[in-house]
Amino acid sequence: MLTRRTLNAALFLAGLALSAPLLALEAPTTRPILTVSGKIGVKNAGDTAQFDMQMIAALPQHSFTTSTPWYDKPVKFTGPLLSDLLAAVKASGSSLSAVAINDYKINIPLNDVQKYKVIVARLLDDKPMAVRDKGPLFVVYPFDSASELRTSTYYERSIWQLKALDVR
């Protein structure tokens, strides 16, 4: 059964797919750090799309400074919008299963991508993030932009040490 939420997410992703470049996704030239699988239309490694850090850095970059429960002061995060990354692989689903290096998993509704400027941060205060510093990739919501984001629901969706996304 299609819900309004599922339909909105599908329409949003259809728009992303239409606006994405028609070029093929190049293969990583260095060690892949992110694998995207599932309902994607652009692949570069079998049934998946793999990204190295250079590919993540080549996507349009966005920054915001926000308070988080993990740092004692507001910090600046920089990286591509999650929507830009999904557009690059022509994603077409209603949710993401995000997986961290330690196999922590969380589902992220694609409505979040539509409603908030969620980024896949690769820089923290303009510096690359080491694994010990929640890197190299960290899905971050702009917590200070809306009070509803400052809840455990959105903090749990902000997965650090991201290694994989499965579009469902």
| Mode of pairing for the β-strands spanning 34-38 and 162-167 | parallel
What is the four-CA torsion angle of 159, 160, 164, 168, rounded to 10 degrees? 10
What local confidence, expressed as pLDDT, does residue 7 receive?
41
Cα separation of 101 and 26, whole Å?
A: 24
- Which residues span the domain enclosing 142? 4-167
**Residue 79 backbone zone (phi > 0: left; psi -120 to 50: alpha; other: beta):** left
Q: What CATH number is associated with residue 18?
A: 3.90.420.10
Domains identified in the chain, total number: 1
pLDDT tens over the chain, length 168 residues? 444 444 444 444 444 444 444 457 999 999 999 999 999 999 999 999 999 999 999 999 999 999 999 999 999 999 999 999 999 999 999 999 999 999 999 999 999 998 999 999 999 999 999 999 999 999 999 999 999 999 999 999 999 999 999 999
Q: Report helix, strand or coil for 11.
A: helix
Report residue 108 as tokens. 């992220």
What local confidence, expressed as pLDDT, does residue 23 receive?
53
**CA-angle at 19, arms to 24 and 35, nearest 5°:** 45
What local confidence, expressed as pLDDT, does residue 133 receive?
92
**Tens of pLDDT, residues 99-114:** 999 999 999 999 999 8
Q: Tell me the β-bridge partners of 37.
A: 166
Cα separation of 70 and 93, whole Å?
A: 30
Task: For residue 46, give the DSSP letter.
Answer: T
What local confidence, expressed as pLDDT, does residue 114 receive?
85
What local confidence, expressed as pLDDT, does residue 57 receive?
98
